[in-house]
Structure 1
Amino acid sequence: MSPDADPHRMSDLGRRVAARRTELGLSRADVAARTGSTQGYIERLEEQLPMPGTAFLVRLANGGEILMLTAADAPLAQAAEADETIAFEEGRVDEAFHQGWSVLVGGPARTVQDRAAADELRRSVHSTPWSGENRDTFVLLTPRRVTGRRVLVEGAPGVQPPS
């Protein structure tokens, strides 16, 4: 965050992106390179309340594939083993301004069978399953369809008035 950034004007998404970037030891230039954007856009995302498009959110999430860690006997692992199409949804609500967004990604899923590939994924992930430990099956979702929705509130910071 730049020294003159007003944390009260930051969106929930902007605060989360800045915190995660700092946690990972990445510069804004690093995030820009990974997402195919500019350092100025990452600064704007973090500090000025933009509502980014779905395509950028997918790139920000490292959009080639979505990685999930689950238990071997979980329905998600079973669906991936059966080569079924699954869906994954992510969203955020900025409770202070009653705004938010939601992205739904659907596509084929597969489990990672190669032990070396699974070990590399385990070393590269920067989070743990929110539902607890004992999750040792990696499932990869290849996005084929991405849909989403934004809820904006007129008059909230960062929302342009209608023209």
Structure 2
Amino acid sequence: MMSEKERTGSGPDATGGDLARRVRRRRGALGLSREEVATRARMEPTYLDRVESAPVAMTAGALIRLADALDTSITDLLGSQPNRPPGHGRAALHPVLDDLREQECRQLIEAGGVGRVAFELGGRLSVVPVNFAIHDGSVVFRTAPTTAIGRYGTGPVAFEVDRIDEGMHEGWSVLISGTVRQAGPEESEKLRATLTVEPWAGGDREVYLVITPEQVHGRRIRAW
């Protein structure tokens, strides 16, 4: 279970970025009880209750176990510095770059999130961020008919998703090459009923676009 440092609250300060709120939110998103997360992280439930309730110092080991238990990264739990672009941390001493199999790539993006769509319109390349979900192996996102991607219609696109963990100097990226199309009225109704895709941009974005993957590639960098 916990080390003495974890019990006494000594060790490095891990309260940045409102750790308590982030842990509660992530646990709720996974539908896990506090006891289930504590078991996964090899912590006492009372200690996890303190983590979720007030600022508390955690050892690096406890923070790593908690991030693993919540299927997330230390960076996401702590919150990145808002004025510092990601990727400015130093590389690991012995980084290893691995190619990912297609199945691994699909598993990494299965939960959805934010990705980037690249396409050519009017002789110019454009890249736009979108909130997306996965449905029957395809990438689904919403937009407005007046946006650049909304006017694009049907055609080839590239779709990219990545995650980095600056605390661990690790990360991965998935790149999909395929064709995007606009869902028809009946398909849009089914997608609306079965998927939760909420564009952060807000507004009237009721056009559902579907990317059918043709090639799926990915790479992961990890600390050795």
1:103 aligns with 2:174: yes
Amino acid in the other structure paired with 1:108: T
1:71 aligns with 2:151: no
Amino acid in the other structure paired with 1:103: V
Amino acid in the other structure paired with 2:71: G
Larger-gyration structure (1/2): 2
Aligned alpha-carbon RMSD (Å): 2.7
Say whether the 8 Å CA contact 2:40–2:69 is kept in structure 1. Answer: no
1:130 aligns with 2:200: yes
Unaligned runs of 5+ in 2: 1-35, 42-62, 74-99, 111-133
Task: Provide the secondary structure at the position in 1 that maps to 2:162.
Answer: strand
Structure 1 stretches of 4+ with a deviation exceeding 6 A read: none
1:15 aligns with 2:44: no
Q: Name the % identity.
A: 27
Q: TM-score, normalised by structure 2?
A: 0.46
Q: Paired residue for 1:56?
A: 104
Q: Which moved more, 1:104-113 or 1:55-64?
A: 55-64
Q: TM-score, normalised by structure 1?
A: 0.61
Unaligned runs of 5+ in 1: 17-51, 155-163
Q: Which has the higher strand share?
A: 2
Cα distance in 2, alignment partners of residues 109 and 13 from structure 1: 33
Cα distance in 1, alignment partners of residues 104 and 207 from structure 2: 28
Deviation at 1:100, TM superposition (A): 0.5
Deviation at 1:4, TM superposition (A): 2.1
Say whether the 8 Å CA contact 1:11–1:94 is kept in structure 2. Answer: no
Deviation at 1:13, TM superposition (A): 8.1
Amino acid in the other structure paired with 1:67: V
